[in-house]
Amino acid sequence: MQEIQIERTKNPKQKPTDQSKLGFGKIFTDHMYIMPYNKEQGWHDPKIVPYQPITLEPSAMVFHYGQEMFEGLKAYKAADGRVLLFRPDKNIARANRSNDRLCIPEIPEDDFLNALKTLVSVDKDWIPTQPGTSLYIRPFVIATDPFLGVRPSDTYLFIIILSPSGAYYESGLDPVKIWIEDDYVRAVRGGIGEAKTGGNYVASLAAQMKAHDEGYSQVLWLDGVERKYIEEVGAMNIFFKINGKVVTPKLNGSILPGVTRASCIDLCKHWGMEVEERRISVDELVEAARTGALEECWGSGTAAVISPVGTLRYENEVMEIGGGGIGPVSQKLYDTVTGIQTGKVNDEFGWTVEVQ
């Protein structure tokens, strides 16, 4: 494992005083991690430095062909003062799967984990403690070759920044309204849908604006081939409770394999619930909503945690779920996931990793 050189800031920033006004991803801490890659040295010379702008050539490949990978995870401060990361091994493994798909060199897992732990430790006084808040961690890699031909870059930067954040949705735990998109698609099988990369998110913007104009906060995507099967929401995976069973789309190559998704499945099974990972057609969903079989719907994601869905709209069909309130499974998942993350609930699965 490589040693990280640490340069601490001489001008610490003012920390936010009102944690209820943090919002998501708007404020950044005093430090960042940065590690360059080139063909001769591989990943080398990791540093933690004061948070600052980076300088790139206008010709840097990331600006032109979008060769970049990003991740999202969170750090929490437990009541006893311990600093906890939630399943960082899963994010690291997914980052390297994304890297493989995007022709970015893999980052050694021990260097990645050491980077997360060391940076969070340096800026641990920035971790907010009010319920619903956390320190959001954004690792990312960008292609930096100054070159306009289309090929994988030979040089990269791996950077990690930290943002004390509150709820992803302004509505917090209040149920969100979701628009099921039948025109635009996000990803196709064989494409980059299961990689965590900016291209998947820019592909979602036009539909998201359309949904916003109609009063909906997010888009639920259908598959890109038949436009019939449920895939995921832009910033989260999706779950339904239909006739007492928990149902979520099966990972098929165009759906992001979410860490919170995996945790929801593990928890529901642990509680003795039947969980099905399978194809769900939008027609099945509409039918389940019409007959009352659709009992609950929620999204899961690192940023969104567990986000109850109160309304789904598909074409002219508006489906109100659970009377617009938070369903019991969504609430139990939210309480358990955030409880484990913040050290309030016993971590019987060994999901948390302590930062010294």
The residue among 140 and 229 lying less far from ligand COI, judged by its C-beta, is 140
CB of 194 to ligand COI, least distance (A): 13
CB of 311 to ligand COI, least distance (A): 21
CB of 94 to ligand COI, least distance (A): 11
The residue among 164 and 301 lying less far from ligand COI, judged by its C-beta, is 301
CB of 334 to ligand COI, least distance (A): 15
Please identify which residue in 29, 254, 300, 302 interacts with ligand COI, judged by CB under 6 A: 302
Per CB under 6 A, contacts with ligand COI among 43-72 are: 72
The residue among 237 and 352 lying less far from ligand COI, judged by its C-beta, is 237
Task: Give just the sign of the alpha carbon dihedral 294, 327, 238, 66.
Answer: positive
Per CB under 6 A, contacts with ligand COI among 188-227 are: 201
CA gap 300, 2 in Å, rounded:
34
**Tokens (6 digits) for 71:** 């991740």
If one asks whether residue 139 binds ligand COI (CB under 6 A), the answer comes out as no
Residues binding ligand COI: number (CB under 6 A): 6
Please identify which residue in 299, 301, 308, 327 interacts with ligand COI, judged by CB under 6 A: 301
Residue nearest to ligand COI (CB): 72
Please identify which residue in 27, 235, 246, 306 interacts with ligand COI, judged by CB under 6 A: 235
Binding site for ligand COI (CB under 6 A): 72, 201, 235, 301-303
